[in-house]
Chain A
Amino acid sequence: MDYSNQIRDIAAKLFAEGKIDVFVGYRMSGFDDNQVPVVITDPKETSVLVFTEKSVFNLTNYLKADHTRNKRVGLVVKGCDSRSLNLLLTESQVKRDKLYIIGVACEGVVDDKGNKMQNCMECFIPDAVVYDEMLGKLQGKKDYIVNADITELATKGLVERREYFEEIFENCIRCNACRHSCPLCYCAKCCIDQETSTLYNGTNTSSSAFHALMTWSLHLAGRCVDCRNCEKACPSHLPLHLLHKQNEKVIYENFQNHLAGVEEGDRGAFYKYSLKDPDDFIM
């Protein structure tokens, strides 16, 4: 999977035609063969753009930054990235007419060691669902598979599971990198940081980390697209996907096979009402 040349050409063309002010893509890190995101405003710099199976980051995260706000942006999206873009569009965070989207029919990306990422192996929407231009051979939709880690987690009892998470979250240093790397965490001021939020109280105790991460995961429940930006950003290497994949499974089973961002106009399972929604908790 290498679309570097096509993307360079498209970006150069878009700048030449004056269709965009900014282009968000990937470049080589300069230290090793890994890639980092790059925000290009100078048309001459388009030659640094690359796209291979090392292009792991979800670039839609950069749409909430100041240097892209209210500007015309070109960007590259894979299947998962395009789903988070769909959510950003319905949640009024970006305007469709300001975007030029290069969709990629993604064959899966790899981790540092060159192994295919776990989320890519379980990916059910490899092709971008929203785009202006499509690169690569379409893979088609696949079936939803429950994550192997979640199947394992389900064997634990409730108390055991809580203890397990509490133990993991002991290592959280409350740096909030997960939040900053998440494309869907765009709040002006996170509820966890607000002065009135007595539950999180700004301290770095295991209890506050537990509450903060649980709140975060619930705010992403039915919205998380499993791009794993958070896990890549976490300096403590916490298995954050466990929270999101567990939520995804519960929602898939209870909310008519809802999967976040797949359909245009999707707001996430908790933000729409259907007569078929589960109500067995009501007496």
Chain B
Amino acid sequence: MARVGVFVCFCGANIADFVDVPTVVEEAKKIRDVKFAIDYKYMCSDPGQQMIRDAIVQHRLTSIVVAACSPRMHEKTFRKALSDAGMNPYLLECANIREHSSWVHQKDKKGATDKAGDLVRMAVAKSIANEQLHEISVPVTKRALVIGGGIAGIQAALDIADARIPVTLVERSPSIGGRMSQLDETFPTLDCSQCILTPKMVDVASHPYIELIPYSEVIELDGYVGNYKAKIRKKASYVNFKTCTGCGACSQKCPVKVPNEYNMGIDKRKAIYTPFPQAVPNKPVIDAEHCTYLLKGKCGICAKVCEKGSIDYKMVDEVIEREIGAVVVATGYDLWDATPYEEYGVGRYKDIINSLEFERMVSANGPTGGVPVRPSDGKVPKTVVFIKCVGSRDKAKGIEFCSKICCMYTAKHAILLHHKVHDSRAYIFYMDIRAAGKGYEEFVNRAQVETGAVYLRGRVSKIYQKGDKLMVRGEDGQLGQEVEVEADLVVLATAVIPDKGNPALARLLGISYDKYGYLSEAHPKLRPVETAKAGIFLAGCTQAPKDIPETVAQASACAAKVCGLFAGDTIKKDPMVSTVSKEFCSGCQNCVKVCPYQAIVTEDIPLGHGAKEMRTVAKINEGVCQGCGSCVAICRSMAINLAGFTDPQIINEIVAI
């Protein structure tokens, strides 16, 4: 005989204002199997939980119903209270009378109360059929995979490795460093980006717990939290890294010139190249798309000049496998292509550049030696117009969101311009100045006061050429009149977008992404680092636009999550997983097709007791199953049951209303 206890929560005024809680308690007392029912102001508080613990012992309760908020909120809290009282925690049932009743029926107190009563009746009926369940233990492979070797990936890898957990860091390009290595100085302190980044890059290369795999990509990820298997394709570099000393003779002599990605295509690199002087690993690779020898079979100069004989044209892509327990995704960002801004003449006028191109120009190791120049004639610009929110916050042309970092780096650009060209002046067209951050507002003030940058609040409507100048016509919203600036150079702060490979990577990893391609976190506030798939975490601009401090903070948060996951030898997992009744399974394999987690495989079992003939049935991998229930719905034979949501439980619920 079931003995159910019902605990109804006021949730302060959240529930009590719109649901008559004492009535719900009275209704609950009328249910046959309910032996105890009570209300309390905050059931989740310590005294509230104590009421549950006491009642379990005093009234010998066999299952518990808590009518309060969403189980997503406090199911774990109450389960803990149950197990503290010596009861199996899965005998708890939550009736969500807040989100499902009081919050959505604020104009109808009686209706809301009746509905709360129904929800309680359903929960009581279901709880009677609840079974004792036990957490599943899954073994863990203690190795983390970090995808992307920018500052986010570097920080995450270092923090995890410092906890003596092996890390495999996979980077697509020949060197780690990412976007940060392309920056000159960083806001708000103006310290040199390379100077603070390079030591970390070297640490990665020399750390005993980090395996750095540059020039490679993750092509497959199988398995589940704690037990992933990753396939990584190492692209052929055509250079034997073991013997190469990185002397650079090959790059010097190579006759092929290709636009240099590191310098945003402003200058040229060779077909065999090291991306930048501080590259880690500091070894060259051959760009197979442009190398004359690989394309036509002639040349071979690099092989001739290499004293160590490290050039190997016969090298092929190699696929390696790693067993890992967790993944940190840190694929970074890209800049939006501003071509849709036809009125700005993007693409037509050479002297319109984007902010990363400007960044490379003012960088000391950049293509122009740290002096900004006009791409059209190579002259040093005196008047530079910066336009913010190009693409960002523009529903019509680009992207709805704010790219977050542009306000700050444009202020930095104004200061850097002033440092490099003393008699120059910066004009900045802006919509708002968003400088929330430690020392950020002061930094913007510094740009305005120290460098005399002219901040014009308004949008630019048109850019046109007049002689060798660019005329920037816009509105000064504060004066309410049209302004026109005669500019030598125009720099567009274009929107920050995620790496274009993100959707494909997300599908490969089995995680979700938004309409822009940013990877989605599990909860925007409370789980900003995790993805919906257990064991996969996000760091940096792959999740949303971020500046360096925030990226580093998130990367360290990822490391903390990974270390937490690896703290024990096994991972505890909710027992709400599907099970197959083999005797009922007819082997149609529809469940295999519909499972979104690839948790179902097939196995052959004897046709009957002692029979030699075999038949095929479905088998569920408990470690992978997330308990979504798709297989239960699709199974015609009703051979699959989801623990915690069995047919008797669901039917009880339906019958109760």
Contact = CB atoms under 8 A, between A and B. Distances in A.
Interface string A237-250: 00000000000000
Interface string A158-194: 0000000000000000000000000000111111001
Contact of B638 (A69, A194, A272): A194
Contacts of B647: 196-198
Interface string B627-648: 0000000101111000000011
A186 B583 CA distance: 13
Contacts of A267: 590, 593
Query: Is chain B's binding surface mostly helix, strand, loop or mixed?
Result: loop
Interface string A242-283: 000000000000000000000000010011100000000000
Contacts of B190: none
Interface in A191-230: 191, 194, 196-199, 219
B567 interface: no
Interface in B151-185: none
B590 to A, nearest CB: 5
23 contacts: A69-B607, A92-B616, A93-B586, A93-B587, A93-B588, A187-B637, A188-B583, A188-B586, A188-B637, A188-B639, A189-B583, A189-B584, A189-B637, A191-B638, A194-B584, A194-B638, A196-B647, A198-B648, A267-B590, A270-B634, A271-B593, A271-B594, A271-B634
B590 A199 contact: no
Contacts of B46: none
B601 interface: no
B613 A92 contact: no
A186 B586 CA distance: 7
A149 interface: no
A92 B589 contact: yes
Contacts of B594: 271
Contact of B636 (A70, A92, A187, A272): A187
A214 to B, nearest CB: 14
Contacts of B589: 91-92
B586 A187 contact: yes
6 tightest A-B CB contacts, nearest first: A91-B588, A191-B638, A187-B637, A219-B636, A187-B586, A271-B590
Given A187-B586, A188-B637, 14 more contacts: A69-B613, A91-B589, A91-B590, A93-B587, A187-B636, A187-B637, A188-B584, A188-B585, A189-B583, A196-B638, A196-B648, A198-B648, A270-B634, A271-B590
A44 B552 CA distance: 82
B651 interface: yes
Interface in B13-35: none
A91 to B, nearest CB: 4
Interface string B579-618: 0000111111110011000000000000100000100100
A121 B374 CA distance: 79
A191 B651 contact: no
B401 to A, nearest CB: 25
**Size range of the chain B interface in the assembly:** 20 to 34
A190 B586 CA distance: 10
A271 B630 CA distance: 11
Nearest to A196: B647
B491 to A, nearest CB: 41
A91 B592 CA distance: 11
Contacts of B651: 198-199
B593 to A, nearest CB: 6
Contacts of B634: 270-271
B657 to A, nearest CB: 16
A271 B639 CA distance: 17
Interface in A49-86: 69-70
Interface string B369-407: 000000000000000000000000000000000000000
B585, B586, B634 interface centre (most CB from chain A within 10 Å): B586
A198 B653 CA distance: 13
Contacts of B593: 267, 271-272
B636 A191 contact: yes
Contacts of B637: 187-191
Nearest to A270: B634
Interface string B231-266: 000000000000000000000000000000000000
A136 to B, nearest CB: 32
Contact of A92 (B583, B587, B607, B639): B587
A277 B134 CA distance: 39
Contacts of B613: 69-70
Contacts of A70: 613
A219 B637 CA distance: 9
Given A69-B613, A271-B634, A92 B584 contact: no
Contacts of A271: 590, 593-594, 634
A92 B584 CA distance: 15
Contacts of A199: 651
B278 to A, nearest CB: 46
Contacts of B639: 188
A70 B608 CA distance: 14
Contacts of A93: 586-588
Contacts of B616: 92
A92 B586 CA distance: 9
Contacts of B636: 187, 191, 219
A203 B266 CA distance: 82
Which of A189, A270, A272 gathers most chain B CB within 10 Å?
A: A189
Nearest to A268: B590
Contacts of A188: 583-586, 637, 639
Contacts of A270: 634
B439 to A, nearest CB: 46
Contacts of B583: 188-189
A191 B589 CA distance: 17
A198 B585 CA distance: 19
A197 B638 contact: yes
A272 B586 CA distance: 19
Nearest to B585: A188
Contacts of B586: 93, 186-188
A23 B63 CA distance: 59
A142 to B, nearest CB: 30
Contacts of A198: 647-648, 651
A92 to B, nearest CB: 5
Interface in A86-109: 91-93
B42 to A, nearest CB: 32
A196 B583 CA distance: 14
Interface in B435-479: none
B651 to A, nearest CB: 5
Contact of B584 (A69, A186, A187, A272): A187
A267 B651 CA distance: 28
A187 B593 CA distance: 18
A7 to B, nearest CB: 29
